[in-house]
């Protein structure tokens, strides 16, 4: 486990240090497996402790001051908030070659929110969280020291610096539009009421969203949105197909797909992969030179996760497939269940073959085929008055 330093004044953190801290201050968990969280954290190094816990160690002195605040305040607020937050279950103290307090918290499942993906439900939950947080008792605390953030200061204090930065970005941004937005922000009347709580870093990387799947079988999962049903399949092979590929019959592929209800509004059964308008195979990111047919060695197929006959690589293969499902598969579903992004994809993109560490994306038919036209029209009508005009001028029709 190697922790990459992000700051000049950062202390060394490695597995040996974490083991020593655990042995002395949390011995019940000292032998649990450790691995870096992904991402590993900017202010605090986050190290998974078993499956349900995470160790948080400040990287710098300023981050340590923030952790002190977290240990004191978060447990008092957590029970009153409409969404779970990581509450410390162990408040570790400085020890030996580690100079600051540290903590162990419950690990919250989920993945960071993705910028640019519209989600009305998430926006409402986000607003509810902010409003609720502002209404909670501040316990007589003042916005001083670690409880102060420059992000709560008046925007006017940053006006000169911000305008200078906008001017320097003239070749990157439409500076006139950015300046108008900044003018409006600065003109908002400053808050003059009693102290309230605020979250000083509400950016997508600090918001966890769940995958939202609600129906499951042994190898499949489904989740429903306003316009779609998203589908995940772990597909194994018949003896014949396994023989052709040169793998075991319990090797598998991982496929994700998006079904649009407006295409088949009368479908009265569970959605299957072949119903989906947008589908993708997840390309694995490991080399497996085990493939062998009766005629000799076979190619390592990028979409086939090979399980050895004795199952000895089961855990590592499933863990790797699930990691890529989160990294590549779920963002694919998030993208194509948004009608605007799906329509844009239809207008601009073609099929791509699966490759190692890359999705193989299956679009609904070749551009301008009956299937493509039907799908483009139905999805386009969800977001625009005249999708046929967009279809006639689709860039994908002009490329090969």
Q: What is the pLDDT along the chain (400 residues), one digit of tens a residue?
A: 788 889 988 999 999 999 999 999 999 999 999 999 888 888 999 999 998 999 999 999 988 888 888 888 999 999 999 989 989 999 999 998 899 999 999 998 877 777 766 667 778 888 999 999 999 999 988 888 878 888 888 999 999 999 999 999 999 989 999 999 999 999 999 888 899 999 888 888 888 887 788 889 989 999 988 899 999 999 999 999 999 999 999 999 999 999 999 999 999 999 999 999 999 999 999 999 999 998 889 999 999 999 999 999 999 999 899 989 988 999 899 899 999 999 999 999 999 998 999 989 999 989 989 999 999 999 999 999 899 999 999 999 986 6
Exposure letters 123-162 (e unless 16+ CB within 10 A, then b)? eeeeeebeeebeeeeeeeeeeeeebeeeeeeeeeeeeeeb
Residues 6+ apart with CB under 8 A from 254: 232, 233, 234, 235, 281, 282, 305, 321, 324, 325, 329
What are the residue ranges of helices labelled H in 112-220?
A: 120-135, 159-168, 175-187
- Cis before 39? omega within 30: yes
Q: CB count, 10 Å around CB of 70? A: 22
Contact between residue 317 and residue 360 where contact means Cβ atoms under 8 Å apart: no
Cα separation of 66 and 145, whole Å?
10
Structural domains present in the chain: 15-110 (3.30.200.20), 120-208 (no CATH), 211-398 (no CATH)
Residue whose pair of structure tokens reads 């977001």 in the numeric block: 383
């Amino acid at each position: 486990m190697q922790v990459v330093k992000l700051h000049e004044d950062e202390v060394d953190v490695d597995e040996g240090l974490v083991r020593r801290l655990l042995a002395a201050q949390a011995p019940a968990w000292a032998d649990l497996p450790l691995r870096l969280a992904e991402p590993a954290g900017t202010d605090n190094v986050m190290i998974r402790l078993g499956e349900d816990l995470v160790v948080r160690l400040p990287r710098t002195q300023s981050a340590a001051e923030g952790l002190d605040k977290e240990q004191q305040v978060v447990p008092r607020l957590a029970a009153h908030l409409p969404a779970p937050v990581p509450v410390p279950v162990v408040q570790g103290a400085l020890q030996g070659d580690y100079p600051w307090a540290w903590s162990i918290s419950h690990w919250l499942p989920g993945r960071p929110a993705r910028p640019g993906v519209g989600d009305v439900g998430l926006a409402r939950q986000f607003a509810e969280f902010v409003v609720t947080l502002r209404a909670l008792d501040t316990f007589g605390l003042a916005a001083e020291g670690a409880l102060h953030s420059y992000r709560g200061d008046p925007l006017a204090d940053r006006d000169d610096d911000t305008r200078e930065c906008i001017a320097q970005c003239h070749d990157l941004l439409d500076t006139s539009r950015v300046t108008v937005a900044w003018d409006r922000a600065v003109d908002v009347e400053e808050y003059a009421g009693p102290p309230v709580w605020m979250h000083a870093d509400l950016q997508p990387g600090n918001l966890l969203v769940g995958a939202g799947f609600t129906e499951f079988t042994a190898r499949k999962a489904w989740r429903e949105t306003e316009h779609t049903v998203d589908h995940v399949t772990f597909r194994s092979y018949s003896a014949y197909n396994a023989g052709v590929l040169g793998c075991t019959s319990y090797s598998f592929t991982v496929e994700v797909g998006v079904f649009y209800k407006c295409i088949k509004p009368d479908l009265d059964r569970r959605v299957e992969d072949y119903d989906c308008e947008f589908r993708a195979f997840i390309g694995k990111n490991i080399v497996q030179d085990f493939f062998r047919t009766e005629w000799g060695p076979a190619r390592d197929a990028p979409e086939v996760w090979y399980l050895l006959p004795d199952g000895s690589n089961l855990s590592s293969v499933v863990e790797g497939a699930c990691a890529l499902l989160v990294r590549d598969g779920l963002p694919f579903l998030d993208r194509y269940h948004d009608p605007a992004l799906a329509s844009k994809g239809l207008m601009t993109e073609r099929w791509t073959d699966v490759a190692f560490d890359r999705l193989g994306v299956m679009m609904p038919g070749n551009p301008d085929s009956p299937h493509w036209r039907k799908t483009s029209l139905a999805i386009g009508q969800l977001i625009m008055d005249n999708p046929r005009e967009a279809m006639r001028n689709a860039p994908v029709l002009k490329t090969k």
